């Protein structure tokens, strides 16, 4: 098999596996997987920027929140259809990421981290400041009746799973195509050696801006999806914690790999889920696991696979 075929087979296999999961796993895990897939889209969003372009953002919660509030507020106050609201959510994230990109890309490295962190903090405070509309930290509920996606009820287990699955499939396949395209290869070239990429005549700044916008928009789509599928919009999702989490997922799963985000989210979810069944001190276990993992799996879980099993992993 050629590398491209292997990659496609791998992604197809993962999607098939997720599909089989729905029909075989107990109801609890079906629900958990819906959540994991949505959050994996968020992690994919961050991975485009961090894993492939080498720009570490500590403020991705603002894009997630932009999608979430774009969808939530337009349903709540404009009464638009879910499809349109979803579009508004994605558009909000796209516009915000373009603005942030234009400003923040004047910086690099640690300064980029801080600038994105501060912008995200500003967005978080703005959500609180307009509490009259957003209900601040408390947030608001999208009623079941308001969550019909073009006649399709997303509040049932099956509805939720298949919407999450569909969106995740689009993202995984699109993401895989992106990183294998010449565009994706140029992003990696920028990550590896920005100076050299510039010498080769690439408009580095333009590529980085596009990466920020794509990354922010995908994260925003995850936010909108989260609000739609789980019926809740709140400021918690704009807080620093939700900027750190996707970074953790990506690093755990394997930065700069296509399957890393999903692995990272699932690993973290089930690590906490499983350990909390045995002890109330599951954070301790999670902490120890992170320390051990970073010591023995330097490039994340997919990184081990790449070095030990299949060097062709995208």
Partner 1 sequence: MEFGPHLMLASLEGAVIASILVLTAMGLSIVFGVMRVVNVAHGEFFMLGAVLAWYVSTALGGHPAIGFAVALIVAPLAVGLVAAVSDQLILKRINYDPDRTIVGTIGMLFIIQQTTLMTFGPEARPVEAPFNQRLALPWFEFSEGGLQMIWPWGLSITSYKLFVIFAALTVLVALWLFLTRTKIGLIMRATQQDSETAKAFGVPVGTVYSCVFGLGAALAALGAVLVVPIQQAHYLMGADPLLMAFTVVIIGGLGSLPGTVIAAFLIGMSDGIISVFFSPTLAQIIATFLVAMILVFRPQGLMGKAET
Partner 2 sequence: MTIKTSNHAVSRRKALLGLGAGASALATTGLMPGTMGFAQAQSSSPIKIGFQKHATGIGAAYGRWYDATTTAAVQRINDSGGINGRPVEIVTEDDGTDPSRGAEALEKFEKQHSCDVAFGTLFSHVVIGSAPRAAELKLPYFVVSEGHHVASGMLNRYTLQPGITDVKSQVVSMAPFIAGNLGKKVTMIFPDFAFGHDHRDFFTQAIEAQGGEVVAKIAIPPTETSFTRYFPSIPRETEVIYHVMVGPAVLTFVKEMGEFFGPSRPEIFGFIDSLEAVGIDSPGLEFLEGTYFWEGMPRHVQGNQSDVEKTYRAAVGCDDRGASIDDPADVSTYAHMFGCWETLNVIKAGMEAADYQGPQDRTKLIEAVEAMTDMPESLDHPQGAKLFNGKTHQVFGQQFISKVVDGKLAVEHVTTIEEGLYEDEVDYTTQPF
CA end-to-end distance (rounded Å), the chain? 15
Q: Which does 162 bind (CB under 5 to 8 A by kind): partner 2, partner 1, none?
A: none
Nearer to partner 2, 6 or 135 (CB): 135
Residue that is written with structure tokens 């999608």 in the block? 67
Nearer to partner 2, 113 or 235 (CB): 235
Q: What is the binding site for partner 2 (CB under 8 A)? A: 22-23, 26-28, 30-32, 35, 125, 128-129, 131-132, 135-144, 155-158, 230-232, 234-237, 276, 280, 282-283
Residue 90 backbone dihedrals phi, psi, to 5 degrees: -65, -40
Q: Are 136 and 237 in contact (CB under 8 A)?
A: no
Among 266, 263, 245, residue whose Cα is nearest residue 313: 263
Q: What is the binding site for partner 1 (CB under 8 A)? A: 103-104, 106-108, 110-111, 113-115, 117-119, 121-122, 125-126, 128-129, 240, 244, 247-248, 251-252, 255, 281, 283-284, 286-291, 293-295, 298
Among 10, 139, 170, 11, residue whose Cα is nearest residue 65: 139
Nearer to partner 2, 99 or 240 (CB): 240
Q: Which does 26 bind (CB under 5 to 8 A by kind): partner 2, partner 1, none?
A: partner 2
Cα distance between residue 222 and residue 67, in whole Å: 7
Q: Which does 132 bind (CB under 5 to 8 A by kind): partner 1, partner 2, none?
A: partner 2
Nearer to partner 1, 70 or 256 (CB): 256
- Tell me how crowded residue 269 is: count the other CB atoms within 10 A of its CB: 17
């Amino acid at each position: 098999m050629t590398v491209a075929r292997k990659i496609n087979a791998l992604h197809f296999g993962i999607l098939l596996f997720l599909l089989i999961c729905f029909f075989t796993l107990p109801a609890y895990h079906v629900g958990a997987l819906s959540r994991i897939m949505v959050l994996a889209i968020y992690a994919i969003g961050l991975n485009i920027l961090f894993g492939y372009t080498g720009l570490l953002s500590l403020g991705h919660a603002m894009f997630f929140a932009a999608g979430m509030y774009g969808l939530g507020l337009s349903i709540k106050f404009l009464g638009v259809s879910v499809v349109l609201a979803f579009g508004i959510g994605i558009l909000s994230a796209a516009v915000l990421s373009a603005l942030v990109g234009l400003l923040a890309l004047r910086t690099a490295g640690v300064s980029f981290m801080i600038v994105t962190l501060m912008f995200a903090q500003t967005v978080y405070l703005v959500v609180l400041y307009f509490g009259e509309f957003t209900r601040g930290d408390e947030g608001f509920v999208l009623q079941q009746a308001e969550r019909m996606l073009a006649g399709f009820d997303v509040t049932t287990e099956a509805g939720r799973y298949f919407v999450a699955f569909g969106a995740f499939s689009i993202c995984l396949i699109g993401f895989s195509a992106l990183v294998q395209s010449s565009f994706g290869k140029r992003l990696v070239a920028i990550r590896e050696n920005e100076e050299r990429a510039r010498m080769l005549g690439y408009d580095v700044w333009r590529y980085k801006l596009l990466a920020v916008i794509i990354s922010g928009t995908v994260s925003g789509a995850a936010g909108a999806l989260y609000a739609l599928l789980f019926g809740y919009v709140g400021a918690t999702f704009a807080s620093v914690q939700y900027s750190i989490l996707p970074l953790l997922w990506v690093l755990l799963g394997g930065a700069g790999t296509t399957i890393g985000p999903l692995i990272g989210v699932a690993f973290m979810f089930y690590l906490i889920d499983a350990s909390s069944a045995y002890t109330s001190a599951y954070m301790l276990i999670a902490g120890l696991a992170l320390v051990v993992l970073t010591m023995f799996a330097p490039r994340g879980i997919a990184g081990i696979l790449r070095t030990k099993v299949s060097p062709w992993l995208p």
